[in-house]
Structure 1
Amino acid sequence: MKNKITIATRESLLALWQAHYVENRLKEQYPGLSVELLPVTTKGDQILDRPLVEIGGKGLFIKELEVILLEKKADIAVHSLKDMTAKCPDGLTIAAVTKREDPRDAFVSNTFKSLDELPHGARVGTSSLRRQAQLLHWRPDLTIRSLRGNVQTRLRHLDEGDFDAVILAAAGLKRLGLGDRITSYISTEDSIPAAGQGVMAVEARSDDQETLDLLSFLHDEEVASCIRAERTFLARVGGDCKVPAGIYAVPEKGHISVKAFIASPDGKKLYRGSTEGPISRAEDLGSAMAGRLLDEGGRAVLEKLQKI
């Protein structure tokens, strides 16, 4: 067995929390194992003055980590699964996915208790086209403004009065011990999550069987089945943060229920649907849901976005 594992991670507090979580689980499972963190500042962390959609998509948060893995400078990388592109680069694979933390979006405000209480024209901060489209579908009167940076930076902008409310992932706030900042939760009916939201993924080299075996105890197969449905959907719709789309799969006694949407960024056109089926057909369910929403109007929306 390997006597040392090096974990590549972003340098944000949330990313480090996730890397330390995996580090601690590895040390508990293998008491003699040495675990070292290799913090990296990614391009997505460096460029904060423009919306992510304008600078290349969410892959910018993980590309440098994946290069480090391929160059064998680290053995594994720990990601928020929702930050990953729909397919891993050649030579890499998702070795383990953890149990899902709260998948909901969180409404955070110092003045208002919920989305419904926001006044006409209220300024809402989010970095996500997925959130923007769903917010504007229900509340077209809101003023949506781009909000980049780590969790602490986003909360600081709220506290300094730049926004009336911000929308963040509940999982990240809870992992950082900031659950008390959550004013209210937005249900997964009103805001369908991003593929993989609330799940941590451990990425490794496909040919590093020893490391893959070491990580197997971390893997939650029931969550993995749901993730297969979600990522199959994401791949078929060409999904990254440039696409206002979301999907959420829930396991239910050998079956999974799936709900998803595709929308225009302004929320004026929103196509959503749901389905369910055997957990063994997870990929088929995700693909079928993508095909259905694309045929209903999502394809035209995405084609228009590609021309912008």
Structure 2
Amino acid sequence: MAQQQLIRIGTRGSQLALAQASEVRARLMAAHDLPEEAFAIEVISTSGDRILDRPLSEVGGKGLFTKEIEQALIEARIDIAVHSSKDMATALPDGLEISAYLPREDVRDVFIGRAAPTIAELPPGATIGSASLRRQAMLKRMRPDLNVIIFRGNVQTRLRKLGEGQADGTLLAMAGLARMAMTDVATEILDPESFPPAPGQGAICIESRIGDAEVAALLAPIKDAPTTIALTAERAFLAELDGSCRTPIAAHARVGGDGTLSLHGMILKPDGSEMHETRRTGVVEDAEMIGRLAGRTVLDAAGPGFFDGWAG
């Protein structure tokens, strides 16, 4: 992309989203020796940012955080879009693709406790706020006595609600806190083996128009191969399950130094009463197949009807 041409980066307007867009800009500046003035960060309001009084599953799922940004990309009002990978639907709009992933941040979830520093120490019947069905289901599996309520909004909004006493604790992604230099608010870091993350958690992705050679050349130096491989497996697992915000799904793929890929996948019922998980290992070249097979494995274990009624 010619240096004199302004590179327009589309993003949501939250503090975390802006931090992610700024990281993409900084990496592109370093890779191409470009000044900050070569970029324009375009803030685009999404439905997911505006609708805060209902669960995502009731108003359209993950696409609510991306569709307005993707429309701007389709209409060429922006050149690239920066997203949290876990917000991305498995099927993208025609003409768009995920063209790059940055190196992945910490995948773990953290607990921020007001009534107690850890989930185990919470008093019986404590109230936990979370917007994630995955986190809600895993919490209920750990502590069936907990009262889990919907907590929507960005990181700052959720922490404000917690400070106001609307809940005794909440869960957030360590990656987001790290990108905003806020990891000190965490009172417990959860083990990803027993509390695995959402597919794509901790990874920033860049979406662009298919066939845009200039953008492809721009992004090539900042693409991270291990993250791309891991996310290929996790998104294949999600796609096999037809996963959305309506379904509690967890997946964590890791690339080993010997060219192997390991994937831990999990599905749960929303009330945490039933869980199925699988672990698969293979070569990195088979990342998509590993994800697909893992998805079929947990579906077979769960049996027909496991997903019935979840969309309500």
TM-score, structure 2 normalization: 0.96
* 1:81 corresponds to: 85
Q: 2:10–2:43: 8 Å Cα contact kept in structure 1?
A: yes
Q: Match for 1:272 among 267, 277, 298?
A: 277
Runs of 4+ that moved beyond 4 A: none
Identical pairs, percent: 42
Q: 1:263–1:298: 8 Å Cα contact kept in structure 2?
A: no
Q: Distance in 2 between matches of 1:80 and 1:298?
A: 31
* 1:19 corresponds to: 21
* 1:294 corresponds to: 299
Q: 2:28–2:34: 8 Å Cα contact kept in structure 1?
A: no
Q: Distance in 2 between matches of 1:28 and 1:288?
A: 39
Q: Distance in 1 between matches of 2:147 and 2:308?
A: 25
The answer to whether the aligner puts 1:112 opposite 2:116 as a matched pair is yes
Q: Match for 1:171 among 160, 171, 175?
A: 175
Q: Match for 1:64 among 64, 68, 78?
A: 68
* 19-28 or 262-271: bigger deviation: 19-28
Count of aligned positions: 307
**3-state SS of the aligned residue for 1:257?**
strand
Once the two structures are TM-superposed, the CA of residue 31 in structure 1 deviates from its matched residue by 2.8
Q: Distance in 1 between matches of 2:50 and 2:34?
A: 36
Q: 2:49–2:153: 8 Å Cα contact kept in structure 1?
A: yes
CA deviation string 1:140-197 (max 9, x = no partner): 1111000000100000111111111100111111111111001111111221111110
> Cα distance 1:298–1:115, how it changes in 2: closer, same or farther (>3 A)?
farther
Q: Distance in 2 between matches of 1:102 and 1:52?
A: 24
Q: 2:7–2:40: 8 Å Cα contact kept in structure 1?
A: yes
* 1:254 corresponds to: 259
* 2-11 or 39-48: bigger deviation: 2-11
Once the two structures are TM-superposed, the CA of residue 111 in structure 1 deviates from its matched residue by 3.3
Q: Distance in 1 between matches of 2:276 and 2:52?
A: 31
* 1:93 corresponds to: 97
Can you give the 5+ residue segments of structure 1 that lack an aligned partner in the other structure?
none
For residues 1-308 of structure 1, the aligned pairs below 5 Å read: 1-2=1-2, 3-32=5-34, 34-252=38-256, 253-297=258-302, 299-306=304-311, 308=312
> Cα distance 1:44–1:172, how it changes in 2: closer, same or farther (>3 A)?
same
**3-state SS of the aligned residue for 1:300?**
coil
Q: 1:134–1:190: 8 Å Cα contact kept in structure 2?
A: no
TM-score, structure 1 normalization: 0.97
Q: Distance in 1 between matches of 2:75 and 2:304?
A: 37
CA deviation string 1:82-118 (max 9, x = no partner): 0101122211111110111010111001331211111
Q: 2:31–2:222: 8 Å Cα contact kept in structure 1?
A: no
Q: Distance in 2 between matches of 1:263 and 1:15?
A: 29
Instruction: Give, as a single letter, the amino acid of the residue that structure 1 aligns with 2:218.
Output: L
Q: Distance in 2 between matches of 1:276 and 1:167?
A: 29
Q: Distance in 2 between matches of 1:12 and 1:106?
A: 20
CA deviation string 1:15-43 (max 9, x = no partner): 01101111122122223461111101100
RMSD: 1.2
Can you give the 5+ residue segments of structure 2 that lack an aligned partner in the other structure?
none
**3-state SS of the aligned residue for 1:115?**
coil
Q: Distance in 2 between matches of 1:212 and 1:185?
A: 37
Instruction: Give, as a single letter, the amino acid of the residue that structure 2 aligns with 1:274.
Output: R
